[in-house]
Amino acid sequence: MSEMIHIDPPPELDMAIGEVMFTQRAIRRLRHDKPVSDESLRVILEAATKAPSGGNSQPARFLVIRSRDKLRAFGALYHEAWWAKRRDEFGWTGKSDIPQGSVYEMPARLADEMADAPVVVLALSKGNANAASSVFPGVQNLLLAARALGIGSVLTTLHPQVMERVYALLGIPQEVHFHCCIPLGYPRGRFGPTRRFPAAAITSWDSWDGVPPWA
């Protein structure tokens, strides 16, 4: 593997890290009329390569789906996978099963629209089947870099029912492991802030029931 040493970050990644982290969120409504450039994808994937991995083993591999035909085929498989997960979880078979106002409304819409996403990136890994903990730091870098470029993203998953067809569609060797898929595109509409637990509510200090000084 040829290794490149980049010390200077790409000049496009000039948003302050705090703003990037505090405004990054799941963006599922993507503009279909504004493409994501190859250059933006290079910057995003450069950022992904900078993440840590166990022993610097760097098992993560990223497969970018750009071809409209492949995006359409992948979108159909994603749609099938999304509904297969809901069937497994809740026995749902169609939109009328989704409770109104539930957190599943937007993901269901993404399942409908995945085929129209400008780009989808698959996070994969070579080697050890338990590489996830060395893949997701890179995925998080990817999400943050996309945010810094004004590009929306959301981490999503698939279902065993479609995996064989996804591998065949994209020529992925059997020994390569799938971790998640991330549609990318410029956001459509406006997005508010994230809602998260306060840090004090999820932090212990010195022991499980210890309270941080800023609680």
- Using the contact rule CB under 6 A, the part of the chain among 31-39, 52-60, 93-101, 151-159 near ligand FMN is 151-159
Is-contact 28 106, C-beta < 8 A? yes
Q: Is 209 helix (H, G, I), strand (E, B) or coil?
A: coil
Residue 32 main-chain phi, psi, to 5 deg:
-95, -10
Q: Which residue has the tokens 């996804």?
A: 166
- The residue within the footprint of ligand FMN, chosen from 157, 164, 199, 215 (CB under 6 A), is 157
Pick one of 26, 45, 51, 163: the residue that binds ligand FMN (CB under 6 A): 26
Q: Which of residues 78-107 bind ligand FMN (CB under 6 A)?
A: 107
Instruction: For residue 28, state whether it binds ligand FMN (rule: CB under 6 A).
Output: yes
CB of 145 to ligand FMN, least distance (A): 16
The residue within the footprint of ligand FMN, chosen from 154, 166, 182, 184 (CB under 6 A), is 154
Pairing type for strands 177-185 and 152-153 reads antiparallel
Based on CB atoms, which residue is closest to ligand FMN, 40 or 78? Answer: 78
- Report the C-alpha gap between 80 and 159 in whole angstroms: 8
Nearest CA to 27 out of 149, 133, 136, 162 is that of 149
> Where does this chain bind ligand FMN (CB under 6 A)?
25-26, 28, 107, 110, 154-157, 194
